[in-house]
Amino acid sequence: MSTSPVYANAYLDHWKQQIRSHGLAKAASELEWPETHAQLWQDIQQAEASLEKTGLSTVDQSLRRTDTSGFSGQQARLFTYPLDQSPAKRSVGEPVSTPSFPSSIPTRLHNLAAHVICHSSNDKWTILLRALTRVAAGERQWLQDPLDDDRRKLETMARNVHRSAHKMKAFMRFQPIDRASCLDDLPAHVAASVRTGAMDDEEQEPLWLAWFESTHPVAPLISRFLVERFKNMDWLILTQYEQLSWIDGQLRHGPPLRKPGCLGDDFDVYWKTYYASTFNPARLNMRMMQSEMPVRYWKNLPEAQLISQLQQTAGGRTGRMLAQTTELPGTLAARSRMVRETQLALRGASTSTGSRPASTDLGETDRPERT
């Protein structure tokens, strides 16, 4: 079994096209990701180099050169060799000397691969390559079998990536920034938009900035979601793997930048107030919380600063609530009785259907005084 960057490259290109055809009509046509592409290319080369050491690689050197030029030249196609229209029947595991990309990829594999390709581990190339080799050899049934080893490995990786993308949608937070004050931390194309904006007299809308540490490089997977939801905002998302921005209706994907120094949102105090108030101390369940919001996300979530205090005071708060009924002998009960009796009398006096409170203006004016 060999690993081949040719396969991986061809696959990348295929994947990109698929995203274009399924993706946003407008945004996709402007989708740019050369830097990440190059990054992936490096990953592939590294993966291959390590495999070469084990004596497993059989990649044709001339093909590899073609590929490298494909990446550096703007117009050059990524793979210049002909696609094999009728996949040769090959037995699995046989060394591949002239790799041929399958002429069509089953939807199930495509859907899995679109996620697997965003996995941060290099094992993905070995597994994807094996999957493609099997498909090219005419083997397709294994994709229907949930117990097939390769499908299970692909599914596990895809599931991890899917979860990672879901958590990014969930835990990534935007904060409004004044572009000028954050200029040093912004990529060139964002900084450029400040200058254009400054030319106009109109007040410039804020840039919404997010710093998020994702478990896999998943920004491309959620770009469509983000654009659809926050279409009329300008935003920039930075992660340790990549950057994704939507400025003046253009989606851009590029290499990572350092964590900006201009993070921090005064509005957090509202969110933290909400978080603390919506927590019910009588139901404390840290294990459940951590299984859904693992500790590794906490450092970028402002509300997470409150967790330990909420946890520590939960027992005492619950105890006080439980004791309250006995500590306030009679007062509450008496007040409740009074309200009930008044309402009952009002209902009785009403000539209407009787099932509905006849007078309902007790609320703000006749409300019993607070203790």
Partner 1 sequence: MEIIAKLAILSDAAKYDVSCSSSGADRKQAAKGKGIGSTGGTGICHSYTPDGRCISLLKILLTNFCVYECSYCINRSSSSVERARFSVEEVVRLTMDFYRRNYVEGLFLSSGIIQSADYTMEQLIAVARSLREDHGFNGYIHLKTIPEASADLIREAGTYADRLSINIELPSQAGLDRFAPEKNLIRTQAAMSDVSRIRSEIKAENKDRSRLAGTRRARQKVFVPAGQSTQMIVGADGSSDGDILSTTASLYSVQKLKRVFYSAYSPIPSASSDLPPVQPPLQRENRLYQADWLIRFYGFGAGELVTPAKPMLDLDIDPKLAWALANRDSFPVNLNTAPKRALLRVPGIGVRSVQRLLSARRFRKIRLQDLRSLRLQLDKVSPFIVCADHHPSKQLDAQDLRWQIAPAKQQLALF
Per CB under 8 A, contacts with partner 1 among 161-190 are: 166, 169-176
**Closest Cα to residue 121, out of 158, 90, 66?**
158
Based on the shown chain and the rule CB under 8 A, indicate whether residue 208 belongs to the binding site for partner 1.
yes
Based on the shown chain and the rule CB under 8 A, indicate whether residue 69 belongs to the binding site for partner 1.
no
Q: Which of residues 262-281 bind partner 1 (CB under 8 A)?
A: 265, 267, 269-271, 273-281
Based on the shown chain and the rule CB under 8 A, indicate whether residue 232 belongs to the binding site for partner 1.
yes
Q: Which of residues 124-143 bind partner 1 (CB under 8 A)?
A: 141
Residues β-bridged to residue 64 = none
Based on the shown chain and the rule CB under 8 A, indicate whether residue 62 belongs to the binding site for partner 1.
no
Binding mask 72-111 for partner 1 (x = CB under 8 A): ----------------------------------------
Report, in Å, the least distance between residue 136 CB and partner 1: 21
Q: Determine how many CB atoms are found less than 10 A away from the CB of residue 87.
A: 18
Report the residue number, 63 or 131, with the smaller CB distance to partner 1: 131
- Is 207 within 8 Å of 185 (Cβ atoms)? no
Q: How far is CA 248 from the centre of its chain?
A: 22
284 φ/ψ angles, rounded to the nearest 5 degrees: -45, 125
Token pair for residue 233? 């905002």
DSSP 101-113: --SS--HHHHHHH
Based on the shown chain and the rule CB under 8 A, indicate whether residue 196 belongs to the binding site for partner 1.
no
Report the residue number, 55 or 146, with the smaller CB distance to partner 1: 146
Q: Which of residues 295-354 bind partner 1 (CB under 8 A)?
A: 301, 303, 307, 310-311, 314, 318, 321-326, 332-333, 335-336, 338-340, 343-344
Report, in Å, the least distance between residue 291 CB and partner 1: 8
Report the residue number, 24 or 56, with the smaller CB distance to partner 1: 24
Report the residue number, 166 or 259, with the smaller CB distance to partner 1: 166
Among the listed residues 30, 178, 228, 248, the single contact to partner 1 using CB under 8 A: 228
Q: How far is CA 265 from the centre of its chain?
A: 21
Distance of alpha carbon 162 from alpha carbon 296, whole angstroms = 17
Report, in Å, the least distance between residue 133 CB and partner 1: 20
Residue with tokens 């030249």: 73
Residue with tokens 């006096």: 349
Strand order in the sheet with 207-211: 175-177, 207-211, 234-238, 243-247, 250-254
Report the residue number, 261 or 363, with the smaller CB distance to partner 1: 363
- Contacts with partner 1 by CB under 8 A: the residue count is 83
Report, in Å, the least distance between residue 154 CB and partner 1: 14
Based on the shown chain and the rule CB under 8 A, indicate whether residue 28 belongs to the binding site for partner 1.
no
- Measured torsion, CA atoms of residues 153, 156, 162, 168, in degrees rounded to the nearest 10: -120
Render the burial of 230-249: b for 16+ CB within 10 Å, e for the rest: eeeebbbbbbebbbbbbbee
Among the listed residues 86, 287, 295, 352, the single contact to partner 1 using CB under 8 A: 287
Based on the shown chain and the rule CB under 8 A, indicate whether residue 49 belongs to the binding site for partner 1.
no
Which secondary-structure segment (H or E) carries 9? helix 5-22
Q: Is 303 helix (H, G, I), strand (E, B) or coil?
A: helix
Distance of alpha carbon 213 from alpha carbon 228, whole angstroms = 22
Name the segment binding partner 1 (CB under 8 A); options: 70-78, 111-119, 125-133, 231-239.
231-239
Based on the shown chain and the rule CB under 8 A, indicate whether residue 261 belongs to the binding site for partner 1.
no
Q: What angle do CA 8, 111, 25 make, to 5 degrees?
A: 95
Report, in Å, the least distance between residue 278 CB and partner 1: 5
